Amino acid sequence: MEDHVFGKANAGISEGRVESVKRDVAPFLSKHIPELHTPQNTQTFKPNTKYCYRHRPDLKCRRQADELLMGQLQKGMDKLPPTDQQAITHVWNLFSAAPAPQRNLMLQGILSQCCFPQLSLISNSLRDLIRIDFLTALPTEISFKILSYLDTTSLCKAAQVSQRWRMLADDDVVWHRMCEQHIDRKCTECGWGLPLLERKRLRATKRQIQLRASNFSRITEATDNLSIGRKRRADDFDMDSESGSGTPSKLRITEGDSTTRSRPWKEIYEERWRVECNWRRGRCNMKVFKGHTNGVMCLQFDDNILATGSYDTTVKIWDIETGECLRTLSGHQFGVRALMFDESKLISGSMDKTLKIWNWRNGECLRTINAHTDGVVALHFDEKLLVSGSVDKTVKVWNFEDSSCTVLRGHSDWVNAVRIHTASRTVFSASDDTEIRLWDLDTKSCIRVFKGHVGQVQQVLPIQVSDREDEEEDSGFFPETPGRPSPPANIITSGLDCTMKVWDVKTGKCTGTLFGHVEGVWGIAADSLRLVSGGQDRMVKVWDVKTGKCRRTITGHSGPVTCVGLSDSKLVTGSEDSEIRLYDFKSAGDVSEAQTGWGEHPALTDYEPSSSRSTSHAGSPGP
């Protein structure tokens, strides 16, 4: 009975306190409490300015309730009597309804009364509470900009934070930038460069990627309907991938696999990264092509076809994938020393003094040109011109359009290599007289002589030393014609003095010499990342094109390596031992060591001789 009486008394007191609190608190709440039911992503004509950036209803980064913390609070509240629960609830309500100035006052007052254990609790709690999902809070364009500064490792870790972060971190806007920064060049931050992919697609997509990044906020609602696992791709825009001059079109957003899409840039980056790792670690599959009966003197290849010329007087066309000889081009009387092909024709040069133009697809010889008074050892052509070099010490320029021929004289010994630079209308030539010459096709005169080799020069190639793409040429090279493009800024040459030299074309000076071969260097090939050389010492060396360091030495041929070819994922070598070897760094996968396709192991060893600094056609030794 007594408990019942005290219960009624306590209840009465509690009800009185509640009524008192209501009278005191209600006006405060009605004055300051904001509109709690504003729908998300809905902008009213008069947005409520009482919200801070964290509590705005239209902001996606509003923190979700901490289930663990809420559970602990509930358990703590359950242990308290109803009156204490009511009091604490009113304190929370007052603080929740208060605007920023009143909140600050409340917090300052509370903190001034806290003891050290309570301050420690606050300090520990703040570490998690002050964190904010800034990528979700910021506009998407800024989020893309932030992510574009991350390296690949950090970017992949960011994709594991949440679904929203994964969608942003996997986006083509970010990975296109990553590809642009690393592919076909060395990143200045990490020092990595990745093999080249389709340059047309990389350039054509750049504008569409930038446009979509800037307009992303207008399509966010549409993309939110996509499943997180579906990555948006660069070709979501309609574009002419062949011409490389696409124009932005409407973003195609579809579900499932109903629309054919190209690969995402992240996947392309991963593929190129694996290839580069294989190059660095020497992981490759090797194929040996056998069929020639004498030394292989020249070669060229593309994605599917390999063409080789030999002292057995034939040119052979090979299927790179199967290793099968598709056809043999016969017609020369002496050894084939030079060849080059494009989609429609193959031109070969022989020690029988002739040039032959072939339809390499069916093996038909279309034309034979009695080109020189002695053997032809070098050739190069573009859409309009064919240039040949000969034992007769001359360089001849043939015009496909009017069948005219121009003779360039100046060398005093065999002309071993020629190279056209179409844009500047110039030709480089290298000779056994140890000189390299630069010829002006407009004036038919020699405008630069490069001297420095002490042995016969076998090869000359333009080389990219700068990492800048589409670097503006120095228009001062031809002062009489200011608008005329300049020749390439740098060339690299190889000689029988066992060295390769890098030259500044404008000054004619040697800027670096590469040492490593112990006998003459016959063939070289290069891209923007690496240089490959083959020598009389039967070795093939892979060099870093920027630093001039030898990264790898490959052995296996039993005769001098006379010619080499290079692509982003393949290396092909030809030798006087009559063999052609193809090293495929793309199909090697994740094998633990270098291996061949036919059960052999090529010898790939690391070797870094002292050197200074440092595209594809092969040289060859004399007859």
Task: Tell me, letter by letter, the H, E, C secondary structure of 500-515.
Answer: EEEEECCCCEEEEEEE
Backbone φ and ψ for 163, nearest 5 degrees, come out as -65, -40
Ordered structural domains, the chain, with CATH: 1-39+47-58+82-112 (no CATH), 139-275 (no CATH), 282-468+485-617 (2.130.10.10)
Query: Quick check: 185 and 196 in contact, CB under 8 A?
Result: no
The mean per-residue pLDDT over the stretch 95-120 comes to 87
Residue that wins the pLDDT comparison between 610 and 274: 274
| pLDDT greater than 50 at residue 154 | yes
* Residue 36 pLDDT: 43
User: What is the number of other CB atoms lying within 10 angstroms of the CB of residue 400?
Assistant: 13
User: Using CA atoms, how far apart are residues 266 and 158, in angstroms rounded to an integer?
Assistant: 14
Q: Is 292's pLDDT higher than 80?
A: yes
CB atoms within 10 A of CB 43: 8
- Check residue 40 and give its pLDDT: 46
pLDDT recorded at residue 164: 85
Percent of the chain scored above 70 by pLDDT? 69
**pLDDT (average), residues 549-578:** 95
Q: Contact at 8 Å (CB) between 436 and 460?
A: yes
How far apart, in whole angstroms, are the C-alpha atoms of residue 262 and residue 115?
63
The mean pLDDT value of the chain amounts to: 77
In the sheet with 354-359, reading across from the earlier edge strand, the strands are: 336-341, 346-350, 354-359, 364-370
Kind of pairing between the strands at 376-381 and 579-584: unpaired
Is the predicted pLDDT of residue 203 greater than 60, yes or no? Answer: no
Using alpha carbons, select from 332, 357, 361, 325 the residue that is nearest to residue 580.
325
The answer to whether residues 195 and 236 touch, using CB atoms and an 8 Å cutoff, is no
d(CA 445, CA 448): 9
Instruction: Band the pLDDT of 474: cuts 50, 70, 90.
Output: low
Q: How far is residue 27's CA from residue 98's CA, in Å, rounded to a whole number?
A: 12
Residue 259 pLDDT exceeds 50: no
Strand partners, 252: none
Q: Hey, what are 489's tokens? A: 């800024």
% of the chain beyond a pLDDT of 90: 43
Q: What is the per-residue pLDDT for 15? A: 58
In contact, 576 and 486? CB cutoff 8 Å: no
Are 582 and 306 in contact by the 8 Å Cβ rule? The answer is: yes
CA distance 292 to 581: 13
542 neighbors 279 (Cβ within 8 angstroms):
yes
Q: What does the alpha-carbon distance between residue 137 and residue 55 come to, in Å, rounded to a whole number?
A: 11
| Locus of tokens 């999902």 | 133
Report which of 484, 346, 333, 335 is spatially closest to residue 423, judged by C-alpha positions. Answer: 484
What sign for the dihedral angle of Cα 496, 498, 502, 504?
negative
Classify residue 445 by its DSSP letter. Answer: E
pLDDT band at 10 (very low <50, low <70, confident <90, very high): very low
Q: How many CB atoms lie within 10 A of CB 203?
A: 14
Most confident of 2-16, 91-105, 197-211, 376-390: 376-390
pTM for the model stands at 0.68
* DSSP per residue, 560-595: -EEEEEE-SSEEEEEETTSEEEEEESSTTTT-SS--
Non-local (6+) Cβ contacts of 204 within 8 A are: 239, 240, 241, 243, 244, 245, 246
Banded model confidence at residue 191, pLDDT cuts 50, 70, 90: low
In the predicted model, what is the mean pLDDT of residues 50-66? 55
Least confident of 366-375, 442-451, 591-600: 591-600
pLDDT higher at 342 or 193: 342
Q: How far apart are CA 446 and CA 340, in angstroms?
A: 25
Length of the chain: 623
**Among 607, 558, 554, which residue's Cα sits nearest to residue 583?**
554
- What is d(CA 561, CA 535) in angstroms, rounded to the nearest whole number? 5
Query: Could you give the CA distance from residue 396 to residue 66 in angstroms, rounded to a whole number?
Result: 81
Return all residues near 404 (Cβ < 8 A) that are at least 6 apart.
Answer: 398
Instruction: Work out the end-to-end distance of the chain between its first and last CA atoms, rounded to an integer number of angstroms.
Output: 125
**pLDDT category, 91, cuts 50, 70, 90?**
confident
Q: What pLDDT score does 387 carry?
A: 98
Question: Is it the case that residue 199 has pLDDT exceeding 90?
Answer: no
Over the stretch 507-524, which tens digit does the pLDDT of each residue have?
A: 999 999 999 999 999 999
Q: Where are the beta strands (DSSP E) in 123-176?
A: none
How far CA 237 is from CA of 143, 223, 224, 511, in Å, comes to 21, 14, 18, 45
DSSP label at residue 470:
T
